[in-house]
Structure 1
């Protein structure tokens, strides 16, 4: 698929041009003719009206597709030039505080602005030629129609409770009862070690069936422990074991060698009767010795497309079930049932040939349209789906009806390996770095826009399996949906793995590396490159890192996580467009170059796990656009006038700082900060008083998971003038912590939605009277607090509470036994209760 998506790029450019006008900066001062910019704006505005129709016509007209490609290339060039103008203005405004910049016309700045002026003129001339060609096509103005049928989904809160996502509840699944009961019957037999295979083509519902079995009450009653692991396309045994341990304990043990991980896993499994589900894997021969330590009655379920001799082979749904499922998706939430749309919908459901994935996606996308032409377009273009590629062509019909801004964001998801899943933090920062987030409300935060986009894609069933993980939300794409995104991105995104060895290709804009050995010391490409990402288990060399920085001056995203780098090159300062820099787990790096403070566009800087980093650069205060900072360092104290000057920060993570005793005293200046995470800082004595001045703070995590260390963090604070209104509070691994500070409850009485207390051996009870004021509390989670034994009497006063999760609190677990436990009457009103990893009560639990 060679489709060109241009509308959102033009929107971004028009927004930038309008921003330059609003700022009222005399661009002529910088050698740029204002008339040239006005001409560009006029041409782009004329294109805007017809682009949506052009994007639709390109599906059947190669000449239109070629015209759109020329326009897109010109737009990317214009975006680079306009960003340089914005940075030039920013440098001039910041000249009062930045010693290295002079507001006078130095030879270097003059040369820069003359280059910008030349670039702008060349782009205008290119656009003139493209405008002449538009007369060859009969495009229609579809902008107003586009906004009418593709209005934004209302904003939603970021916290996703279990009730928010019931994608695999029994009520959403059809014609699988017999298969489910057959599998459960086989699992409940007390014979020796056995493997059950669930097989069938992609999109038939294999994983959905597996989850119904996995979550059945009888499974929880039969097995001591259970694990669910999704296998990556490339077999990484270490990653698989990490995922198994995480499935069992909720801990991510990614700092161990593989032999240590094997020992940890086998210690958990030894003698236990376990259920293991291996999604997308049928051959388990390489894992048998690792898993053999469990009880002989343990069972394994494999889910794969290949058929085994003793497998449960699934079949497509009946027309009746397809129709019911389609109508449920297309007319949900009280949408008016137009008789004509119902008639067309019946035809669409029949043509879906029993494929539940296709039915759900097409139905969910058509929910957002009341235009009969859109429904007819889907109906008339569904072709028989005998093979997977034919199913992809049908799924593409749903993609065709996406709003233009969602198309661009959806395609960008292909940069990430599907098997790793997604999280809202990383994906939103990536979209933000590429300027894909826009809103009619100028006061709406980019992070909120990004969350709204994720929800829009979720409601169209393009994202699934959402799960709240205290400080972030994880979710996935179905394998076929990810393949669809990858096909649309094939001319912009390039993937380096064992399947593709020709990596010296010109013209692509995103490079995703899952096998660094294939690259060796140099990567091919051009100045068009905007993203370079190396993923887990990959260690790019120092030479390769230098090659990327020198070859790609227009990068927006650079992800060198987990590399062997010892020194980040000084040349990093040349990446003037860089907005996202990830150096997580670079365990050899000791210092960052002083030139890093010249990255004035940087919005995200990730230095977590860089345990040998001696200190943050003194001039980090100059990264004025930084919205997210996560770091580790060997510093004893964080000085004033450093991080405290980063007033754009929304998320701050301080972790694995084993020498840190004091935070920066001017933390109260971070008035925009929404999330503060402090972890594994065993010598940190107390929170600075300035924390009480963080008026925008919504999420606070205090944790120490380093075994053998003892954190004595004190959280006392005067009750006067407390400003934070927390929505989420997590306290994890604080040995001396035994009760919730009163100030935390007081300042969050009307806002706190999620409270988690984990690994606190001296925590005994929740306060009775203050707890009742938490009228907004939705999720209460208590884990590995052995002294915790009971709940306050008036738990019914927590009227918003929808979920209780308890793990490894022996006395309390006994008191919460369903029906007979002493504390059961206190919690029986809560809709969902999870005890020691097993769901004992749920509205959609069988």
Structure 2
């Protein structure tokens, strides 16, 4: 179905028109007819009122779908024109504000007025043509009976969440979500933990020390593996356990990083392959390991590299075991479909969660939906979660009536077709964001920071509250998609939240995107709005140039990237996003300055690039600039101050000091990351001008010993990380520096990683985080001995505490039990502390037994009292409730 989404684009256009009105730019004098803009706004507002109904009607009406296609094409052209007007307005405002310009620059600006005048005349003509074009589309309006639908943007409770949500570890499985897997789980655990497996292996798909869990996508293979992985009998049997997501293409380095992370909790992106192999060898060192290989979708290709893969594990004990999760059909499937009873229970659990009114008629429809897609847990969860947000009987009937038969989920395409019915019920703003996720590779690990910046670059973030920050809107969208089970496997590390899309859900997003020409199919010869390539082999021919292309993203080093990036820039002038990470660019071309619509530029880990062209500072509406890992970059030029719209900056450089009137002029900056600056001794003195800064990250800057005095004025700062991730660099950043004593912010998240000087709890931390600190991590601090001696109740908002590799940290204070908001405690590589925290027998166990989730040395304690009691109560109440509902339905 060639479905069209237009509402989000119209929202973007209306916001741009409102912005132009607020700029106080004399557009009339510059030959842009104000009345044309007002007429355009009137037409778009009339469309906005009925678009939600039109998008719903297109599911059954081809004429409506065609009308929306015409409107969508016209709106995209209007977006480019208004975007250019917005850029010109920002430039004029900047010229007025810049009173320090030299005579030469003022003369140059005067000369440029003639080109600006020409631009305004052309823009005026384009706006008139677009208005007339949209007027023609409006003439067809009367053919359809569209209803006005009020559009509100809010969360599940009808309001905008203000408090940050702290995410717990993703490997936890909620027991009440799992049905009919006890037998499978016990068979697998018995095989893994017993020496004589002759009888057990008859019921499993076993080859040597490998168990295959196979079956259809979405049937619960990974859930079953997680149940096994988290069982305490596994922890008692194996020395270490690892979880690896297998990419479509065999990427050895990525696999090694996953293995190391499973054991140490550290992502070693900065190491070379040989270094990683040595770390893995030291971890295995004849130990008995348990390994899960997930997302094993291409067994034929991967089998060619099987010898390489097993070679990575050669340092482990021969008694080690492996589980491989695959959709590949083998001789015996280890997992079966759910029964109707379990399917109904699972669907109802998600469709009526959080006290939703129990409409008996909806329950009856839900029973029929569950019967038609019985057996596939993922489909049941997604449909149930999406139906939770609707009490419209027509929505429920639409899904029920369009599932063709009770055997609809027996193949992957059929399961995707059912998920598409749930997608049809999503609000328009979430549909667009969901589709844009397909631009990323299938096995991509998302994180909230870059995905939100990506959505922001395309103008997808909307709010009823004009004061709400785009970053907050984006996080709300992520949560809304999570509540609908379209995102999964959430895990938090500092303010980075990682998550994934299930294979079936990703296939759904990709199918819809392909239908509406939103992403690239390389061999089609068509023009697309987004070009996304993961492997070098995908670049089989030159990219087709197009003014309609909005994104180009590469996810692996491209050997010929110098010529390729020149081609990308010259052929795609309207780009909003250019992601050229991990490439071998030596010189960024001056033509980059011609991408005047560009909002997101990612050059992360371009290890050959030495300089930035001056033209990059002509990108006046650039919002995200990522230069982390560009270790030979000589400097950030002072002209960076011209990027006044920049909200996120991450960089590496060889500078000794960062000058004033550079980064300090970026008053829109929300996130600043300074990484791998090995020579940096001083930050910019005017850092205090960054009044909007929310997050400050300083990593691997060994010669930086203090912050400048201006840091005390960072009044909006909420998240701070000081980190030395590279063991070869000794960081001596002082935690008791005077400037920190005068910090004004109210910290919510703090990470201190690898600082030799951090040996006691500084007073400033208590002052600026009292009643606000939610997430705290102390890692790799060899001299840190413990939490502060004064009452811990001052940290009454603390939810997550991580103590990793702090050997002198030996015990928790007596009043630890007073931290009643704690939800997660993680302790690794602190031998004395780990012993004291052991369940029932540890001296510190009474201080922490109120915490729902506790992880000691990489092993979860799913039996924590509060968490166990809550899950038992939840399951009991739901069984009682669902049973009473079925009785009522039967009676009716």
1:169 touches 1:212 (CA, 8 Å); kept in 2? no
Verify: 1:771 aligned to 2:792, yes or no. yes
| Structure-2 residue corresponding to 1:675 | 695
| Structure-2 residue corresponding to 1:307 | 329
Q: Provide the secondary structure at the position in 2 that maps to 1:278.
A: strand
In structure 2, which of residues 286, 295, 299 is the aligned counterpart of residue 280 of structure 1? Answer: 295
1:558 touches 1:582 (CA, 8 Å); kept in 2? yes
| Structure-2 residue corresponding to 1:186 | 191
In structure 1, which of residues 290, 294, 299 is the aligned counterpart of residue 312 of structure 2? Answer: 290
Per-residue deviation at 1:106? 2.4
1:150 touches 1:403 (CA, 8 Å); kept in 2? no
Alpha-carbon distance in structure 1 between the residues aligned to 2:721 and 2:735: 12
Q: Provide the secondary structure at the position in 2 that maps to 1:533.
A: strand
Per-residue deviation at 1:259? 4.0
Question: Deviation string for 1:4-25 (max 9, x for gaps)?
Answer: 1001111111222233234443
| Structure-1 residue corresponding to 2:398 | 377
Question: Deviation string for 1:60-79 (max 9, x for gaps)?
Answer: 33333222122111101111
Alpha-carbon distance in structure 2 between the residues aligned to 1:609 and 1:321: 49
| Structure-2 residue corresponding to 1:235 | 250
2:853 touches 2:867 (CA, 8 Å); kept in 1? no
Superposed counterparts of 1:633-712, under 5 Å = 633-712=653-732
Verify: 1:603 aligned to 2:623, yes or no. yes
Alpha-carbon distance in structure 2 between the residues aligned to 1:203 and 1:706: 39
Q: TM-score, normalised by structure 2?
A: 0.90
CA pair 150-824 structure 1, distance change in 2 beyond 3 A: closer
2:172 touches 2:230 (CA, 8 Å); kept in 1? no
| Structure-2 residue corresponding to 1:449 | 473
Question: Deviation string for 1:682-723 (max 9, x for gaps)?
Answer: 000212222221111111000012222211111224476431
Alpha-carbon distance in structure 1 between the residues aligned to 2:524 and 2:655: 41
CA pair 298-774 structure 1, distance change in 2 beyond 3 A: same
In structure 1, which of residues 496, 503, 514 is the aligned counterpart of residue 534 of structure 2? Answer: 514
1:492 touches 1:509 (CA, 8 Å); kept in 2? no
Per-residue deviation at 1:576? 0.8
Question: Deviation string for 1:320-346 (max 9, x for gaps)?
Answer: 111111111111111111122112111
1:170 touches 1:844 (CA, 8 Å); kept in 2? no
| Structure-1 residue corresponding to 2:773 | 752
Alpha-carbon distance in structure 2 between the residues aligned to 1:551 and 1:758: 47
Alpha-carbon distance in structure 2 between the residues aligned to 1:818 and 1:771: 22
Alpha-carbon distance in structure 2 between the residues aligned to 1:583 and 1:270: 37
Q: TM-score, normalised by structure 1?
A: 0.95
| Structure-2 residue corresponding to 1:117 | 124
| Structure-1 residue corresponding to 2:260 | 245
Per-residue deviation at 1:731? 0.4
In structure 2, which of residues 150, 156, 161 is the aligned counterpart of residue 155 of structure 1? Answer: 161
CA pair 735-540 structure 1, distance change in 2 beyond 3 A: farther
Verify: 1:614 aligned to 2:634, yes or no. yes
Q: Provide the secondary structure at the position in 2 that maps to 1:254.
A: coil
2:362 touches 2:396 (CA, 8 Å); kept in 1? yes
| Structure-2 residue corresponding to 1:172 | 177
CA pair 232-495 structure 1, distance change in 2 beyond 3 A: farther
Alpha-carbon distance in structure 1 between the residues aligned to 2:524 and 2:402: 35
Per-residue deviation at 1:648? 0.7
Alpha-carbon distance in structure 2 between the residues aligned to 1:501 and 1:76: 23
Per-residue deviation at 1:844? 5.1
CA pair 787-630 structure 1, distance change in 2 beyond 3 A: same
Per-residue deviation at 1:418? 2.8
Q: Provide the secondary structure at the position in 2 that maps to 1:822.
A: coil
Verify: 1:269 aligned to 2:274, yes or no. no
Alpha-carbon distance in structure 2 between the residues aligned to 1:535 and 1:764: 42
2:676 touches 2:699 (CA, 8 Å); kept in 1? yes
2:435 touches 2:510 (CA, 8 Å); kept in 1? yes
Alpha-carbon distance in structure 2 between the residues aligned to 1:128 and 1:199: 56
Per-residue deviation at 1:540? 5.3
Question: Deviation string for 1:396-440 (max 9, x for gaps)?
Answer: 111111110111000000011131221100110000000000101
1:95 touches 1:103 (CA, 8 Å); kept in 2? no
| Structure-1 residue corresponding to 2:53 | 53
Verify: 1:127 aligned to 2:148, yes or no. no
Alpha-carbon distance in structure 1 between the residues aligned to 2:850 and 2:51: 54
Alpha-carbon distance in structure 2 between the residues aligned to 1:110 and 1:167: 61
Verify: 1:473 aligned to 2:497, yes or no. yes
| Structure-2 residue corresponding to 1:799 | 820
2:706 touches 2:737 (CA, 8 Å); kept in 1? no
CA pair 292-701 structure 1, distance change in 2 beyond 3 A: same
2:670 touches 2:695 (CA, 8 Å); kept in 1? yes
Q: Provide the secondary structure at the position in 2 that maps to 1:760.
A: coil
CA pair 813-146 structure 1, distance change in 2 beyond 3 A: closer
Per-residue deviation at 1:59? 2.5
Superposed counterparts of 1:563-642, under 5 Å = 563-642=583-662
Alpha-carbon distance in structure 2 between the residues aligned to 1:150 and 1:744: 34
Verify: 1:107 aligned to 2:129, yes or no. no
Alpha-carbon distance in structure 1 between the residues aligned to 2:531 and 2:466: 32
Question: Deviation string for 1:726-764 (max 9, x for gaps)?
Answer: 011110011222112111111111101111111111112
Which 10-residue stretch deviates more, 123-132 or 615-624?
Answer: 123-132
CA pair 770-492 structure 1, distance change in 2 beyond 3 A: farther
Per-residue deviation at 1:770? 5.2
Verify: 1:461 aligned to 2:467, yes or no. no
Per-residue deviation at 1:494? 7.0
Which 10-residue stretch deviates more, 32-41 or 97-106?
Answer: 97-106
Which 10-residue stretch deviates more, 238-247 or 17-26?
Answer: 17-26
Which 10-residue stretch deviates more, 23-32 or 176-185?
Answer: 23-32
In structure 2, which of residues 413, 420, 424 is the aligned counterpart of residue 396 of structure 1? Answer: 420
Question: Deviation string for 1:85-112 (max 9, x for gaps)?
Answer: 1111111111131647736872211221
1:788 touches 1:809 (CA, 8 Å); kept in 2? yes
Alpha-carbon distance in structure 1 between the residues aligned to 2:252 and 2:524: 26
Per-residue deviation at 1:26? 3.1
Q: Provide the secondary structure at the position in 2 that maps to 1:454.
A: helix
Alpha-carbon distance in structure 2 between the residues aligned to 1:521 and 1:40: 41
Alpha-carbon distance in structure 2 between the residues aligned to 1:47 and 1:420: 36
Q: Provide the secondary structure at the position in 2 that maps to 1:140.
A: coil
User: How well do the aligned residues superpose, as a CA RMSD in angstroms?
Assistant: 2.2
Q: Provide the secondary structure at the position in 2 that maps to 1:117.
A: helix
In structure 2, which of residues 128, 142, 146 is the aligned counterpart of residue 140 of structure 1? Answer: 146
In structure 1, which of residues 226, 232, 240 is the aligned counterpart of residue 241 of structure 2? Answer: 226
2:759 touches 2:783 (CA, 8 Å); kept in 1? yes
2:735 touches 2:762 (CA, 8 Å); kept in 1? yes
1:534 touches 1:540 (CA, 8 Å); kept in 2? no
Which 10-residue stretch deviates more, 817-826 or 420-429?
Answer: 817-826
CA pair 615-146 structure 1, distance change in 2 beyond 3 A: closer
Unpaired runs of at least 5, structure 2 = 198-207, 872-892
Per-residue deviation at 1:146? 7.8
Alpha-carbon distance in structure 2 between the residues aligned to 1:820 and 1:712: 38
Per-residue deviation at 1:501? 4.7
Alpha-carbon distance in structure 2 between the residues aligned to 1:149 and 1:90: 33
1:233 touches 1:419 (CA, 8 Å); kept in 2? yes
1:307 touches 1:313 (CA, 8 Å); kept in 2? no
CA pair 517-317 structure 1, distance change in 2 beyond 3 A: closer
Question: Deviation string for 1:550-590 (max 9, x for gaps)?
Answer: 11111111101111111111111111111101010011111
Verify: 1:339 aligned to 2:364, yes or no. no
Q: Provide the secondary structure at the position in 1 that maps to 2:790.
A: helix
> How many equivalent residue pairs?
839
2:27 touches 2:33 (CA, 8 Å); kept in 1? yes
Verify: 1:733 aligned to 2:754, yes or no. yes
